[in-house]
Amino acid sequence: MTTGKSRAQPGKARPISHSLGKLLGLFSPKDRILVTIDADPDSMASAMALKRLLWRRVHKVAIAHFNEIRRFDNRTMARLLKIPLVKLNKIDSQDFSKILLVDGQPHHDESLAKFKYDAVIDHHPIVMPVEASFVDIRPEYGATATIMTEYLRAAQIRPAKSLATALVYAIRSDTRNFEAGALEKDVNAFHFLFPYANMHLLSRIETAEMGLEELPHFQQALENRRLRKGKIFSYLGRVRSHDTLVLVADFFMKCHEVTWSVVFGIDRKNLVVVIRNDGLRKNAGALASKAFGAFGTAGGHRAMARAEIPLVNLEDHLKDFLEAGKRYFESEEGIGFRLGCSRTKGQRVRE
Ligand SMILES: [Mn+2]
């Protein structure tokens, strides 16, 4: 990394203490800083860490997100950790002397691309050059929160409870609880942060998966459930979003007797099927393609799959289709669908 105009250069090990000096060197006490994010746990935590790093070094720091925050865990995180977020379209960038971006790159969204950045700190792969006075992109890190934790450590800052909790959740979230792409650096950052984090806040954020408006769907899912030989089947009728079907399908899998969970529901103009299994010698993706590929889009992985069938393809066969679907999953060999297929307009598409 060089001073002045700098471009991201992957693959070079750069000591954080060196980068810290360069980063802090950008700012003066009169600066009014805008940090733009695509709000998710990693970007929110990274922006908080950046705000902490700049504390008493600049006049003020605002964190602005352009996206709608829909996920309940993210909303709970912002609320419980009191993350001072503002909506990007509600602010005037002219009020700020420097604009920063964390956990993303300008080309990731048009809302970000319109700014000229002073600093970009990120861990996503570099697919095109990123131009800013300061660029620190480390694709070898599982989370930007890990990079920011290293900055805090280099600056000898002990994170407050809410900041540490945010960073811990961000690392867990971006590395899918260390299942995907977790590296020694992410684990090290996690170990450093853990004693400062608040476990009650963390578990509250983690368990906040839904709102009360989902409960009637659960009630219906339980009433409609059919269980045979470890396979559970339910139809929820119309739902607000297919996320509800995922919540219900995952919920059924919590029962230790259940090996397959298949949940049907109607989301806008599609019949949506969410399939889960215990992942033991089963293939949900193959089953979804086989059962539903002829009617709409279907596919997925070994343990999870989804199919979306345009209602127009089923015409007035919805009831028969659901009945056939239930029988299909209940039968041990699989009996296949017998519907008026000649009348359907679907085609086989893999997800
Ligand atoms: Mn990230």
Band the pLDDT of 209: cuts 50, 70, 90: confident
Residue 2 is predicted with a pLDDT of 36
Ligand 1 centroid vs 142 CA: distance in angstroms?
A: 7
Band the pLDDT of 177: cuts 50, 70, 90: confident
Q: CATH second-level architecture of 212-350?
A: Roll (3.10)
Ligand 1 centroid vs 229 CA: distance in angstroms?
A: 41
Say if domain 6-207 classifies as CATH 3.40.50.2000. no
Ligand 1 centroid vs 92 CA: distance in angstroms?
A: 26
Ligand 1 centroid vs 207 CA: distance in angstroms?
A: 20
Residue 7 is predicted with a pLDDT of 52
**Long-range Cβ contacts of 258-262 (<8 Å, 24+ apart):** 258/227, 258/230, 258/231, 258/232, 259/230, 259/231, 260/230, 260/231, 260/232, 260/329, 261/231, 261/232, 262/231, 262/232, 262/233, 262/234, 262/325, 262/329
* Residue 150: alpha-carbon gap to chain centroid: 23
- Environment class of residue 105 by beta-carbon count within 10 Å: exposed (0-12), middle (13-18) or buried (19+)? buried
Whole-angstrom distance, CA of residue 288 vs CA of residue 152 = 47
Residue 342 is predicted with a pLDDT of 32
Residue 75 is predicted with a pLDDT of 95
* Residue 334: pLDDT over 60: no
Residue 290 has which token pair? Answer: 């086989």
Residue 302 has which token pair? Answer: 């070994």
* Residue 343: pLDDT over 50: no
Ligand 1 centroid vs 144 CA: distance in angstroms?
A: 5
Ligand 1 centroid vs 289 CA: distance in angstroms?
A: 32
CB 83 within 8 A of CB 20: no
* Residue 280: pLDDT over 90: no
pTM above 0.75, yes or no: yes
Ligand 1 centroid vs 218 CA: distance in angstroms?
A: 32
* Residue 97: pLDDT over 60: yes
Ligand 1 centroid vs 288 CA: distance in angstroms?
A: 31
First-to-final CA distance of the chain = 40
Parts of the chain belonging to CATH 3.90.1640.10: 6-207
Whole-angstrom distance, CA of residue 179 vs CA of residue 190 = 14
Give the count of beta carbons closer than 10 Å to the beta carbon of residue 278.
14
* Residue 333: pLDDT over 80: no
The residues facing 65 across adjacent strands are: 37, 87
Phi then psi dihedrals of residue 298, to 5 deg: -155, 145
Residue 139 has which token pair? Answer: 């694709």
Phi then psi dihedrals of residue 89, to 5 deg: -75, -5
Residue 48 is predicted with a pLDDT of 98
Parts of the chain belonging to CATH 3.10.310.30: 212-350
234-245 pLDDT, tens digit each: 999 999 888 899
17-63 pLDDT, tens digit each: 999 999 999 999 999 999 999 999 999 999 999 999 999 999 999 99
Nearest Cα to 157, choosing from 170, 172, 167? 167
Phi then psi dihedrals of residue 163, to 5 deg: -65, -45
